[in-house]
Amino acid sequence: KQEVTQIPAALSVPEGENLVLNCSFTDSAIYNLQWFRQDPGKGLTSLLLIQSSQREQTSGRLNASLDKSSGRSTLYIAASQPGDSATYLCAVRLLKAAGNKLTFGGGTRVLVKP
């Protein structure tokens, strides 16, 4: 059974500092990995999607890396801003997942202080 872990559960940084968010998974036979952002009381917004054949994906200040062999992905957010305060979730889709379902980590709650 795939298990996805995100550590730490919460993180507080001063504005301008780079954010490093970690995601680990137990089964390396993945199809892809997706990072999401969730604001309080809202749905999930897709940030980056990394296919199993890729090592990283970039979008603006966001960069996500994937190391399947070690079962890890890292989301980097450069020059953090107060607007980056949210919960960040990673989710993994296994190669043979029934219904192509996603398995989610518990999330990392980020606070960027002005």
Partner 1 sequence: DGGITQSPKYLFRKEGQNVTLSCEQNLNHDAMYWYRQDPGQGLRLIYYSQIVNDFQKGDIAEGYSVSREKKESFPLTVTSAQKNPTAFYLCASNDRGAGLEAFFGQGTRLTVV
Nearer to partner 1, 81 or 100 (CB): 100
In three-state secondary structure terms, 8 is coil
71 binds partner 1 (CB under 8 A): no
Contact 50, 74 (CB under 8 A): no
Of 14, 41, 60, 83, the one binding partner 1 (CB under 8 A) is: 41
The verdict on 96 binding partner 1 (CB under 8 A) reads no
Tokens of 21: 């968010």
- Return left, alpha or beta for 53; rule: phi > 0 is left, psi -120 to 50 is alpha, else beta: alpha
CB-CB contact of 18 with 79 (8 Å): yes
Tokens describing residue 64: 């996500």
Least separation in angstroms between residue 14's CB and partner 1 is 26
Which residue from 7, 106, 111, 113 is in contact with partner 1, where contact means CB under 8 A?
A: 106
Binding residues (CB under 8 A) for partner 1: these are 4, 31-32, 34, 36, 41-46, 49, 51, 89, 91, 93, 98-102, 104-107
